[in-house]
Structures are given as structure tokens and as C-alpha cells.
Amino acid sequence: MAVARRLLREQVRDEVLDRLFRGEYPVGSRINEVHLAAEIGVSRTPLREALASLAQEGILDARPNRGYWVSVLSEQEVRDTYPIIAQLEVLAVKLSDPEELARRAPELIELAEKMATAADVRGVQRADDEWHASLLEACPNARLLEMITDTKRIVHRYEHAYLGDPHSVRESIEQHKRIARALQEQDFAVTFQELESNWKTSMHRLVARITGSQDAIGD
């Protein structure tokens, strides 16, 4: 029974995320729990559990006795967090078996191409998550992987603003392929450079979206 309840909560969470990424709830707007529960077709209990989970990830802002609001995007949070993720992933690759990474390279190229066939922003995000998960799967440091997962939760809510742009998606696909090819050749200097660049490019494009300034892309 507990498993079924957890699965329902996760399904509701995914549905709320899809609606957020489609722009149905603008940044700073309040979530109407009664209307949303009716639209999704669930009781308010699993909905509140899903909203509480999203609040823990920073996607929503929980206000005691008032409900949930869509969190405001923060330029500083993006600038603070993306470089941390980049360095953590670089460290994870450094700790991985080089031969195993080289064997994974063809699969990583295929996973990168999945981003081009995704039907929507959520699909692109899932493909991107799958790519990075496959890259890091050879890392033996479980604590480091947990830190990466926890840190990524902070910025996941921003990615629809970046991943929704077709040009940005194409650029990201090429970056992912370059990383995979460098791994296949065991050229780790290029691997680390491209991996950092991937996160840095995402950061700059998000800052540009948040601030409305294209100057941020090249800063």
C-alpha cells in the first residue's frame, strides 16, 4: 500500500513539473491546490505530498498556512551552483576507470542524439539526465554521486528555460558528443574542458534568460 502511494505521489509530481515546464504556472504565481487536484484527478493528499517534494527541491516556495508558489528564478543561484556541478562531475570522471569510460563512449553518443528526437522540454531534460547518469555510472564514489544528485536538484527547475531553445539543444548535443569522443580517445584534457564548458554554457544562457541580457552569454 505504501509503495502504491509513493508511486502516485511521483506521478503527480511529474505531472506538476510538466505543467510548470509548459509555462502553465508562471514564476511567482500561486498553486491553486483545489483546482489542480481536480484537473489531475487526484485527492489533495498525494498532491500536497508532491508539492512538498518539489518545495524541498526548491522548485516551489512553501509558505506556512498559505500554500505553494512557483519559486522566483535567481541569477546568483545559477552562478553559484553550476560551477560546483561542473567540478563535481569532472572529479567523478577522474575517479572512473578510463577503459570503462572509453567503452561507454558509443552509448554516450547515442544518448546525446536522443535529445534531438525528444518531443518536448521534459523529454530533452530526461535525455540529458540519462546522458550524465551514464557518464558518471563508472564512478566508484557513492558519496560524490549523491552530492552531484543533490546539487542538480537545485538547478533542475531552471533548465526548461535553457533546454526549450532549439539552438541551445543542438549546441548541447554537440558538446555531449565531443565529450564522448574525447573519452573514446582517452583525451582527458579535452574531456574535462568540454565537460566544464557544457555546464558553463548552460549557466550563461540561463543567466541571459533570467536577466534579459545577451551579454551574459559571453561573460
Task: Quote the Cα angle for 203-141-162, to 5°.
Answer: 15
Closest CA to 195 of 185, 183, 204, 186: 183
Q: Do residue 61 and residue 130 come from a single domain?
A: no
Q: Do residue 79 and residue 66 come from a single domain?
A: no
What's 5-63 look like in SS3?
HHHHHHHHHHHHHHHHHCCCCCCCCEECHHHHHHHHCCCHHHHHHHHHHHHHCCCEEEE
Q: Do residue 103 and residue 26 come from a single domain?
A: no
Q: Do residue 81 and residue 133 come from a single domain?
A: yes
Query: Which CATH number goes with the domain that contains 64?
Result: 1.10.10.10
Query: Which CATH number goes with the domain that contains 119?
Result: 1.20.120.530
Q: Do residue 119 and residue 205 come from a single domain?
A: yes
| Domain edge (last residue) among 24, 49, 70 | 70
Burial of 179 (0-12, 13-18, 19+ CB in 10 A): buried
* Model confidence pLDDT, tens digit, residues 51-90: 998 898 778 999 998 999 988 878 898 999 999 999 999 9
Residue 57 is predicted with a pLDDT of: 77
Residue 1 is predicted with a pLDDT of: 41
Q: Residue 130 belongs to what domain range?
A: 75-218
Burial of 217 (0-12, 13-18, 19+ CB in 10 A): middle
- Cβ density class 76-105: b for 16+ within 10 Å, e for less: ebbbebbebbbebbbbbbeebeeeebeebb
Return left, alpha or beta for 30; rule: phi > 0 is left, psi -120 to 50 is alpha, else beta. beta
Strand order in the sheet with 60-63: 30-31, 67-70, 60-63
Asked whether the beta carbons of 157 and 71 are under 8 A apart, the reply is yes
Give the residue ranges of the chain where pLDDT is below 70: 1-6, 119, 157, 160-164, 214-219
Residue 121 is predicted with a pLDDT of: 74
- pTM (2 d.p.): 0.75
Q: How far apart, in whole angstroms, are the C-alpha atoms of residue 82 and residue 10?
A: 26
**pLDDT, mean over the chain:** 87
Closest CA to 216 of 197, 200, 199: 200
Please state the domain count of the chain.
2
| Domain edge (last residue) among 14, 42, 70 | 70
Q: Do residue 196 and residue 96 come from a single domain?
A: yes
